[in-house]
């Protein structure tokens, strides 16, 4: 059944759930509307109450907080919903940037919608989009993935599935894993253009733009600190692994199978990437 929300029209018995972005580094990125909302709600559902309290103190906002993070969301969502259904309003915030991206806010949003509670998102700071538009890479179309799988095998398997995507890709990464992740991207994607961004909006904000191999060389000379974003150019339709002879379709399928991808899935992917007839490649692979 269709759900229609008219956020600011009509009388509502329930309170409103506001999704409020917070600064990703620079406190001045807090919007006037976000400040007004935090002052007006009855409670703030915070990913980390200590972190949010620093924000509230900075802007001299006095409002109650409710801890709400991935480890307690199961027990906290019913409590927050009861609060909203009683007519009181809640602002949900993450530690930095837009809520509901890397925190349990999405589950709360879904449950609120099921109960016809208005969910109102405020625009504001977003690390992925902010880094993208200054990266120098094509901003549209783009795909935001957040953090990649940590284990090397799972990460490379994920990248193999995304290798032929034409969209610019956005990843979050820890400074402790960024070099290893770039090595994996280089092996799977080839030596594409990439922008490595760190400490966004802070005093040590830095953009490193170049080919993946060049960025890796710079990391050996100048290691980095601070949370990072990796912006990778999309697949151009050309083989981008320099100095390496292009593998045959069967060899490419075999490589994917070695990475743990099922043969038929690998055949379908290689056939699509190389504009081949899938049935013919299937027959060759299985020697039919």
- DSSP string for residues in the chain: ------TTSS--SS--EEE--B-SS-GGG--HHHHHHHHHSSEEEES-HHHHHHHHHHTT---EEEE--TTTHHHHHHHHHHHHHTT--EEEE-SSBSTTSSSTHHHHHHHHHHTT--EEEPP---HHHHHHHTSSS--SSEEEEEEPPSSHHHHHHHHHHHTT--SEEEEEE-TTTHHHHHHHHHHHH-S-EEEEEESTTSTT-EEEEEEHHHHHHHHHHS---S-EEEEEPPP-SS---TTSPPPPHHHHHHHHHHTT--HHHHHHHHHHHTT--HHHHHHHHTT-
pLDDT confidence of residue 239: 53
pLDDT confidence of residue 196: 98
Rounded (5°) CA angle 102-106-108: 125
Please measure the distance between the N-terminal and C-terminal CA atoms of the chain and give it in whole angstroms: 49
The neighbour count for residue 9, using CB atoms within 10 Å, is: 7
**Average pLDDT for runs of 10 along the chain of length 288:** 90 94 96 98 97 97 96 95 97 94 89 96 95 96 93 93 94 95 95 96 96 95 92 80 60 83 86 82 81
* Distance between CA atoms of residues 126 and 98, nearest Å: 6
pTM of the model: 0.79
pLDDT confidence of residue 241: 47
């Amino acid at each position: 059944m269709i759900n229609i929300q008219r956020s600011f029209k009509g009388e509502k018995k329930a309170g409103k759930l506001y999704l409020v972005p917070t600064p990703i580094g620079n406190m001045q990125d807090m919007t006037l509307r976000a400040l007004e909302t935090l002052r007006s709600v009855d409670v703030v559902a915070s990913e980390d109450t200590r972190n949010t309290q620093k924000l509230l103190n900075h802007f001299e906002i006095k409002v109650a907080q409710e801890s709400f993070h991935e480890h307690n969301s199961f027990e906290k969502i019913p409590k927050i919903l009861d609060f909203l259904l009683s007519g009181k309003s809640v602002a949900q915030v993450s530690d930095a940037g837009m809520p509901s991206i890397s925190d349990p806010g999405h589950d709360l949003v879904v449950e609120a919608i099921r109960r016809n509670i208005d969910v109102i998102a405020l625009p504001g700071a977003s690390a992925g989009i902010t880094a993208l538009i200054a990266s120098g890479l094509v901003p549209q179309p783009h795909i935001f993935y957040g953090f990649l799988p940590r284990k090397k095998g799972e990460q490379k398997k994920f990248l193999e599935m995304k290798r032929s995507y034409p969209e610019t890709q956005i990843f979050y990464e820890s400074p402790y894993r960024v070099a290893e992740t770039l090595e994996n991207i280089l092996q799977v994607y080839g030596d594409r253009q990439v922008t490595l961004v760190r400490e966004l909006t802070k005093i040590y904000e830095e953009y490193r733009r170049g080919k993946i191999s060049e960025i890796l060389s710079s990391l050996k000379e100048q290691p980095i600190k601070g949370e990072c974003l990796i912006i990778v150019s999309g697949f151009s339709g050309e083989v981008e692994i320099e100095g390496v002879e292009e593998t045959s379709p069967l060899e490419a399928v075999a490589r994917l199978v070695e990475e743990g991808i099922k043969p038929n899935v690998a055949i379908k992917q290689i056939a699509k990437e190389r504009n081949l007839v899938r049935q013919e490649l299937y027959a060759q692979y299985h020697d039919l």
